[in-house]
Amino acid sequence: MLAGATLFALSAMPALAQDQTATTTSAQADSNDQGGLGEIIVTAQRRETNLQQTPISISVLSTEALQDRHVQSLFNLADGTVPSLRVATFEARQSALTIGIRGIVPYDQNQTARDGGVSVYIDGVALGKTQGLNAALFDIERIEVLKGPQGTLFGRNTEGGALSMVTKAPTGEFGARMTAGIGNYGSRNADIHLDLPAFFNIALKFDGVYQHQDATVKDPLAGSVGWNYYDRKGGRAAARWTPFDGLTADFSYDYAKDDNTPQFSQLINYNPNNYTVGSYTPAGGALGTTLYLPGTATACGGTITVAQAAAGRLPCVAPLAPAVGVHPGRQKVADVGVPQQPSVDITHGFTSNLKYKVAPGLELRSITAWRGVSTDQWDNSGGPERSTYAPNANFSRYSLSFLKQHQFSQEFQAVGSFDQFDFVLGAYYFTEHATEYAATPLSNQWNAAGTAYTIRSPIIDSSVTGNISSANSGYQPYAPSCNNTLAATVPQFTNSCQFITRASKAWDHNYSAFGNLTFSPEGTGLHFTAGGRFTKDKRRGALYVVNNAVQGFTFENSISRFDPMFNISYDATQDVHLYAKYSTGFRAGGANDRSQSFNAFGPESVKSYEIGAKMDFFDHHARFNIAGYIMDRSNTQFDFDLFDTAATITLPNGTAVPNPTNGAHIEQTQNAGNTKIRGIEADLTVKPMAGLTLSASYAYTYWKAPSAVNPLTGGLPQQLYIVYTPKNAASGAIDYVLPLTIANGANLRLHLDANYASSQYSFQLEPTKTDPSFVVNGRIALADIKMNDSAQVTLSLWARNLFDNTYIYRRSNANSSPVYNYNGSTLVSTNYGGILGDYANFNPPRTFGAEASVKF
């Protein structure tokens, strides 16, 4: 029953043409003369073709699809709009997104010196970093999701796929659209789009956007913003110059600012493995920082060596602070107030896109772009939920990161057709420079009993408390009273109040050439395509600060490789099209800037085998597409990490003292083996009557990951996991358009979509799964009400997560089990000091609102 229900609850809607489908310019395929599903023109192969005859796996979200689902940023696609596309925040942060396709989902690409497995494009320009991806979307014409390696068609190599956003170009005719809306949680939004009449063959277009939402989880600390807050604004100017027939020159500049706070991380259980809960007060003694077996003066817990365990020292865990509660359901107000100011992401860039039609069968193209992104990250989402309690101990890890990146890219293309051949040739250059530094101060301090707390000063007076250290640091960047000895060799940290846990910089230079050639023998219905991509990628970097000390760690990584692609397609009938495809791709190597030494890791690569069929039935009133694929990934890049969440450490004599590295996060990336991924994707679109469209999509994904030894702890191999990849995912929609002759030509538009995903892993080293998810979105609109000959008004009501379903989308049990320390494969000690319980992030609650828009 569940399989049948989910297959019907599938996705796409008229605005979605999934799997083998490709670019469409409207939410629905235009009806044919008999009222069925019309032909959709696509550009997935860099030329206009019929969607059903295009042997490429791609899903498309049109303007109307985005409106119906109230998609304001890419994070809104996390509900599973496209089943094989997985979108999540990195950790709890809205400021950076994790984007994966077909099981190629990175855990942590939020760094200076590494790539993702899926490339994100804006108007053909690859974005080098995940920071800033959650900015407000400008006037989007469509979002294309291409699945599998795409190096022979797109400029940047991708192994999992590509997400391509295409904005609306200037029309050269006067037109204006304005939208304003309000909703719950103090949300409000507005956008304006203005097209000016062409003059001297120049058309101009201007876009402005504003989006705001108050926090959905409140912070008890006065002056703090709370969690899941955002305030986005931006603008875009575009120009299209057509000096003579055959030449089109598009230029654009965009700027976006996104102020946001992370999702809230909450404690959903305490001591789930039922270890003995120790006491900080020994029998007959005074309160201290050492744990004792209850009612005794026998010390327990902490870090227990093999010898201590043999001598009888027993494990125990710290008690839960009385001020902290366990909340298995979504919280509305945090138990403990912590400083939480908004992160600030700024993205901006200039793009030049030239197209020159040399002859009827040949067009030359150039895409030139410069882009930049900066992120000031302020993430205090964990509070006391991710670190243990000790009397008078500091707590609440404030994760700070300050990144700047700029990139330049140049792409040339030649797209042509002659006789029975079609071809695409391209050359691509990409370079980027990124710098980042980070700190993880503890912002709060418990009282002795854990019943109250104080906020630590964000600024240190070094004349009173001494130089900046791990135990004596603030969280504001700079102040004259802060004396940081790091400044003597790294002047950028003069008067820094932060204990700098890391600082890194990296450069990347990528050169490539790619192409496709298709041969279609006349009268056979067969199409043979061969393509390839040659890439040379050179990356270098330096990790020059670790734990507030100057270091000289550097790395260089260079690779040259060729990736082929072969595709055979067959037009079995006018309405049945079959294809088979083989392709390869890779993700370049790099270095992990959360590591202690910046060791380089190598590239990973994938071989992809795919077959598919696309079929129209019942005089084009039904459309069914299906694809199956096998992907074998070699030298998979896995991230091994170690969080230090213990409030105290145990000295060799058994005494517990404050832990100077509480809150530290160490991570190391290795090529850990081979991964197998298998999948099936299916779409069904039915138009049983005029105005009614039913759509459904389903994705099944099977994967098998290797086991490997954690290089940070040693020991035996442990199972690794692919994150954010549900075995079953489905999405479906009902769209109905009813003309209203009594309302001056208006339409009543009804939309309802449902999205499901089975449970999945959210951390590469943890066997704990998230909850299954089920989210329903809806919109009802009275559209295109004619006010006069030139003005039309649309009034709408919308809701996301209509039934306010609650589920955990990220869950960690890292703080529920001890940490085992090995010397090779020999156990040395077991640390119980960080055991607290599972923490989790919940999906956003129900949001709803009303909008009014007018267009001229």
pLDDT in the model for residue 264: 95
pLDDT at residue 34, rounded to an integer: 55
pLDDT of residue 516: 92
Q: What percent of the chain has pLDDT over 70?
A: 91
- Tell me the pLDDT tens digit for each residue of 135-148: 999 899 989 899 99
Q: Can you tell me the mean pLDDT for 212-219? A: 97
Sequence-distant (6+) residues with CB within 8 A of 706 are 636, 672, 673, 674, 675, 720
Question: How large is the average pLDDT for residues 29-40?
Answer: 60
| Residue 502 in tokens | 């890391």
Question: Which range (153-157, 165-169, 502-506, 761-765) has the least confidence?
Answer: 153-157
- pLDDT surpasses 50 at 196: yes
DSSP character for 5?
H
Assess whether pLDDT exceeds 60 at residue 306.
Answer: yes
pLDDT at 482: 95
Highest CATH level, class, for 2-273+325-458+497-855: mainly beta
Better-scored residue on pLDDT, 489 or 27: 489
Contact, 175 vs 850, CB < 8 A? no
For the cut 70, the answer to whether the pLDDT of residue 647 exceeds it is no
Is residue 339 within 8 A of residue 443, CB to CB? The reply is yes
Taking only the tens place, the pLDDT of each residue in 166-184 is 999 999 999 999 999 999 9
Q: What is the pLDDT of residues 527-547, one digit of tens each?
A: 999 999 999 999 999 999 989
Q: Please, which pLDDT band fits residue 116 given cuts at 50, 70 and 90?
A: confident
Q: What is the DSSP letter of 815?
A: T
Average pLDDT over residues 584-597: 89
| In the predicted structure, residue 644 carries a pLDDT above the cut 70 | no
In the prediction, which pLDDT does 649 show?
62
* Element spanning 365, H or E: strand 362-379
SS3 384: helix
For the segment 694-709, the average pLDDT, to the nearest whole number, is: 96
Residue 313 and residue 783: Cα distance in Å, rounded? 73
Which CA distances in Å does 154 have to 327, 416, 807? Answer: 46, 16, 36
For range 642-663, the mean pLDDT: 63
Kindly state the helix (H) or strand (E) to which residue 447 belongs, with its residue range: none
Helix-, strand-, coil-residue percentages of the chain, each rounded to 5: 5, 55, 40
For residue 333, the cross-strand partners are 218
**Cβ–Cβ < 8 Å for 14, 695:** yes
Residue 736 to residue 800: CA distance in whole angstroms: 18
Q: What pLDDT score was predicted for residue 424? A: 94
pLDDT band at 826; cut points 50, 70, 90: confident
The pLDDT of residue 226:
95
Q: Residue 594's pLDDT is what?
A: 87
Over range 745-764, report the average pLDDT: 95
Helix, coil or strand: residue 2: helix
pLDDT (tens digit per residue) in 238-273: 999 999 999 999 999 999 999 999 999 999 999 999
Q: What is the pLDDT of residue 795?
A: 96
> What ranges do the domains of the chain cover?
2-273+325-458+497-855
User: In the structure, what pLDDT confidence band is assigned to residue 44 with cuts at 50, 70 and 90?
Assistant: low
Nearest residue to 66 (alpha-carbon basis) of 107, 16, 7: 16
Of residues 653 and 380, more confidence is placed in 380
- The rounded mean pLDDT for the chain is 90
- The whole-number pLDDT of residue 654 equals 67
What confidence score (pLDDT) does residue 22 get? 37
pLDDT at 167: 94
The pLDDT value recorded for residue 12 is: 34
Q: Are 84 and 57 in contact (CB under 8 A)?
A: no
Query: Can you spell out the DSSP letters for 718-774?
Result: EE---BS--SEEEEEEEEEEEEEGGGTTEEEEEEEEEEEE---BSSTT---B---EE
- Paired tokens of 744: 């001056």
> Which among 276, 381, 318, 447 has a CA at the least distance from the CA of 834?
318
Which of 149-158, 310-319, 673-682 shows the lowest per-residue confidence on average (mean pLDDT)?
149-158
Element (H, E) at 310: helix 306-310
pLDDT in tens, 397-432: 999 999 999 999 999 999 999 999 999 999 999 999
Q: What is the per-residue pLDDT across 117-130, written as a single tens digit (0 to 9) for each?
A: 899 999 999 998 88
Strands (E), 588-635: 590-591, 600-601, 604-617, 622-634
pLDDT at 520: 94
Poorest-pLDDT segment among 383-392, 394-403, 496-505: 383-392
Q: Which amino acid is at 239?
A: A
Residue 651's pLDDT band (cuts 50, 70, 90): low
d(CA 616, CA 624): 6
pLDDT of 706 above 90 = yes
Residue 715 vs residue 839, higher pLDDT? 839
- What pLDDT score does 5 carry? 36
Evaluate if residue 712 carries a pLDDT over 90: no
Q: What is the dihedral of CA 779, 782, 783, 784, to 10 degrees?
A: -170
pTM: 0.90
